[in-house]
Amino acid sequence: MPKKSKYYFDGRYYCCKIRKGATSKEGYSIVRAKTEDELDRKLGERRHAASRGVDLNDGTIVAEWCVEWYGNRKATLSPSEQSYFRPMINNLICPAIGNVRLLDVRAEHLQRVMAQAAGKSKSYQGKLVRLLHRLFADAFSSKLTMDDPSISIKPGGMPAQQKQSLTKEQVATLFAAIEGTRAEIFCALCYYAGLRSEEACGLTWDDVHLEADTPYLDISHTTTWPERGDGKWPCPTKTPSGVRKIPIHPELLRRLNAVPKSKKKNPFVVAGHGKQPVTYQSKRRIWDIVRGRMTYKALGKPQPKRKPGQPGPVGIPRTIDVYFTAHQLRHTFASNMIAGGTDIKKVQYLMGHADATVLLKIYAQVVGNQPADLSGAVSGSL
């Protein structure tokens, strides 16, 4: 004799009548499913939701939650977090799963988001995973989801390539190419003082002590661009260790002293429009001065073709034959310090790093590891 079903069948679905609330006075609802197993699962979800206080009829979609989450936490996010969280929400998360109901999001939905960043670096994907963890962990704690689908999501991507230091010849070519431009002081601050871009753009003339017995830069605040728009100043340094006093290199001192007094009326060393800090676009245009002097080969671009007999374009000579970023100037500063035998703790202070292991991990691979450098250590220890 077939086993009697614990549910009733209406001719099309297996059904179960359940109370809407704690008592029968709040009414009943009917849960339907095509199979008994499916109905068991639905009823289990409802019991679990009731125990957590989750409303299974909530229609909040991912895009709506992202807007609410970012708006509520924007004030507590660091400028760097704002600078990459917002584009990730707009360009990756919302296009991929923005219309999905928050309650329906599963790990596979988040893998769809990660697929959008498949060509990005491991560092970028790590930031995206961190954002997903925060979004859905907060949704879970706010009782908007049954569980946290981001738990199993991990970053992939290729590790960032080891940054190469510039040679003295390449540095000389750089400064010869940008002499007299807005990029000169910016690059000099990054190369001769090891400043981050936001530190260089946040430096004011009040922070430059040229008349001291030992001229120095007082680094205590930065300019940031939270939404890639107007510069926000003053902002704290990246870490508390970023607050430091850096002796001014003679070449940097010469360039700072050569700045006309009229330009020093602007409070910022890397001047913006009027007396405001540089905007994000202005910072990019400063670096475009450097890029505009890089050869097409260095930029990885094909040389523009010209018809036979057609004269070449009249413009700024492209003499810089290596591609690099502003951060590589800072990287070169640290590498040169270590190569010159400067104590690692002093380099840590000058760079504004919270932990010396960062220096050992990144820069110790750059200097002192050639066969000629290591032969004495090998032969003397065996």
Which residues, 6 or more positions from 124, have their beta carbon under 8 angstroms from its beta carbon?
84, 117, 157
Q: What pLDDT score does 381 carry?
A: 47
| Block residue for tokens 């909040």 | 60
Residue 325, domain extent:
162-303+316-368
204 and 84 within one domain: no
Q: Is 268 helix (H, G, I), strand (E, B) or coil?
A: strand
Q: Which residues of the chain have pLDDT under 70?
A: 1-5, 20-26, 49-54, 56, 157-162, 306-314, 358, 361-382
The residues facing 379 across adjacent strands are none
297 and 174 within one domain: yes
CB 95 within 8 A of CB 136: no
C-alpha torsion angle, residues 61, 127, 129, 121 (rounded to 10): 120
> Does residue 127 fall inside a structural domain?
yes
CB 280 within 8 A of CB 231: yes
What does each C-alpha distance from 198 to 79, 260, 274 come to in angstroms? 11, 23, 19
Q: What pLDDT score does 147 carry?
A: 82
CB 216 within 8 A of CB 245: yes
130 and 35 within one domain: no
Check which CATH number belongs to the domain holding 245 and give it.
1.10.443.10
Quote the longest CA-to-CA distance of the chain. 102
357 and 262 within one domain: yes
- The residue type at 367: V
On the 0-12 / 13-18 / 19+ scale of CB atoms within 10 A, 343 is exposed
Report which of 254, 165, 216 is spatially closest to residue 174, judged by C-alpha positions: 165
Task: Count how many Cα atoms sit within 13 Å of the Cα of residue 215 in the half-sphere of its side chain.
Answer: 15
User: What's 263's DSSP letter?
Assistant: G
Chain centroid, CA 45 distance in Å: 38
Q: Among 109, 141, 173, identify where a domain stops.
A: 141
166 and 38 within one domain: no
177 and 45 within one domain: no
Q: What pLDDT score does 238 carry?
A: 85
Q: What pLDDT score does 301 carry?
A: 84
256 and 203 within one domain: yes
- In total, how many domains does the chain have? 3
Distance between CA atoms of 144 and 102, rounded to whole angstroms? 7
Distance between CA atoms of 45 and 62, rounded to whole angstroms? 20
> Does residue 380 fall inside a structural domain?
no
CB 194 within 8 A of CB 350: yes
Helix (H) or strand (E) holding 318: none
Q: What pLDDT score does 307 carry?
A: 67
> Does residue 377 fall inside a structural domain?
no
